[in-house]
Chain A
């Protein structure tokens, strides 16, 4: 290994006295204070700050517009454009889920139902958000593209029971997602 001799910088008298540097430093912080009081801190615009400094005041202002495309939030079920449940309760997501957050109770579709061909839909579909690790494996494994990780990130509740998303809630978060899903195809 090459030995590199580091020479200490030769300081001028003013630098050795510390004092001018301290005063200089004080001005740097003072400039910051003035800037943040005027709401002109560096980066305030790009971070959507509330006016003082660069802080975004969370519950009032949200990060939503800044979420990246690939952001993975709360998992949810989606319906298609005709309000049909995409899930066929195959339980693959329940099986793959690493923290075992998903619980599915499958149910049959009665024969007189217009969508009876599909045969199954979930009777109960619970995702325990105290367990979910947002890994996205349920989304990956779903053959019917029925479960997606959406952009919601503020999942809160006052009890453990509050944190369990039932089927209704999951469809509410998931909303409608358009696009062809093969299971509705009569020929298939």
Chain B
């Protein structure tokens, strides 16, 4: 077959599969997971009985599948609810704001490598929608657009509390974006490139960023490693710092729990989405969870080897025609683990006060990330 045709077809299939068949269900089910995991942490049960209502059709018992059909019921409810647009809002911006929050979150997915590669009609197809050489930059450029959605939602609602929520969110996201951008630079320096697929590939070959247990010099448990790698392990220090800064910034960027000030219901009556109802509200909700999934995917890609299984198994798996799918499963497992981590943090840490949040962003993390870059550079100079 014509390689161009294969490229177009596979790209279309990848877009449909990764965005609509993988990520959107994951969004729905991360809401379910959030409810279930938070319930378990708080000694409750959570939604556990929405299933197939067989008793409606005259059967003895309902099938409940531990409530796994809850997201479907939630979605149906959102579609059937009354869509209400208050008369005092700026209609155009009011309608476009929810779209502006969810689209960037889904767009950033296109540079995240889901798996290594599979062979279709003799052509190697990389399991990433767009294999571009500016991966992280693209992600930051697009992800920062979601602040427009939230700010516009707050402003166009024509409601003081919503506006306040929108402005707060804007200030928060900007203050963490700088730390987010700076904290990745050490990683990019170590790998020397901006292509996310290649970054993951080199992690598969030489050990994950935060877990370099296998590499060209052999295992860490091997005495040769300590002799030959020339103090490479020192790089773990700045990489760990950048992991911490990056993760916390992602929490702030996705408006997740310790930093969910934009929607602080005690002060802001719900924040920027107070005036939204039904599916428009659901889009904000989905945007937030999609951002969480993209955030987890980024953390996994940059620090935990992306689709790599590790322990030197990747080379064997890559030999199979559909070995990429094994990698896909490995990647999803890691992402799900991180989503559960996000939920775990949400039900552990109390909300930050707003001035503490700004101080953390501007005074602590900005400086820390900046110093970290110099630290990395110094160590890299020493090592080579």
Contact = CB atoms under 8 A, between A and B. Distances in A.
Interface of A: 22, 25-26, 28-30, 32-33, 35-37, 41-44, 50, 52-55, 57
Given A25-B349, A26-B348, A32 B43 contact: yes
A12 to B, nearest CB: 18
B41 A33 contact: yes
Contacts of B43: 32, 35-36, 41-44, 53-55
B40 A37 contact: yes
Given A50-B45, A53-B45, A55-B45, A33 B345 contact: no
B290 interface: no
Residue of A22, A29, A36, A55 with most chain B CB atoms under a 10 A cut-off: A29
Contacts of A32: 40-43
Nearest to B345: A26
Contact of B344 (A30, A43, A55): A30
B347 interface: yes
Contacts of A33: 37, 40-41, 344
B348 A29 contact: yes
B257 to A, nearest CB: 12
B11 to A, nearest CB: 41
A27 to B, nearest CB: 9
A33 B36 CA distance: 11
Nearest to A57: B45
A30 B41 CA distance: 7
B44 interface: yes
Nearest to A56: B45
B39 interface: yes
5 contacts: A29-B347, A32-B40, A32-B41, A52-B40, A52-B44
Contacts of A25: 348-349
Nearest to B360: A18
Interchain residue pairs A-B with the least CB separation, the first 7: A53-B43, A41-B43, A55-B45, A29-B348, A53-B44, A33-B41, A36-B43
B242 to A, nearest CB: 15
B39 A53 contact: yes
Interface residues of B, number: 14
A152 to B, nearest CB: 24
A143 to B, nearest CB: 47
Given A22-B349, A32-B42, A43-B43, 14 more contacts: A26-B344, A26-B348, A29-B344, A33-B37, A33-B40, A36-B41, A36-B43, A36-B44, A42-B43, A44-B43, A50-B45, A54-B43, A54-B44, A55-B45
Interface string B79-116: 00000000000000000000000000000000000000
B40 A36 contact: yes
A54 B44 CA distance: 6
Contacts of B42: 32, 53
A41 B45 CA distance: 12
A55 B49 CA distance: 14
A115 B45 CA distance: 56
A44 B39 CA distance: 14
A124 B212 CA distance: 84
A52 B344 contact: no
B344 A53 contact: no
Contacts of B44: 36, 52-55
Contacts of B37: 33
A52 B45 CA distance: 6
Interface string B334-349: 0000000000110111
A28 B348 CA distance: 8
A44 B347 CA distance: 20
Nearest to B258: A22
A43 B42 CA distance: 13
A37 B39 CA distance: 10
A43 to B, nearest CB: 8
B259 to A, nearest CB: 13
A130 B313 CA distance: 68
A52 B41 CA distance: 10
A41 B348 CA distance: 17
Contacts of A54: 43-44
Contacts of A26: 344-345, 348
A83 B348 CA distance: 60
Contact of B40 (A22, A28, A42, A53): A53
A26 B257 CA distance: 14
Interface string B18-62: 000000000000000000010111111100100000000000000
Nearest to A31: B41
Contacts of B348: 22, 25-26, 28-29
Contacts of A35: 43
A29 B40 CA distance: 9
Nearest to A50: B45
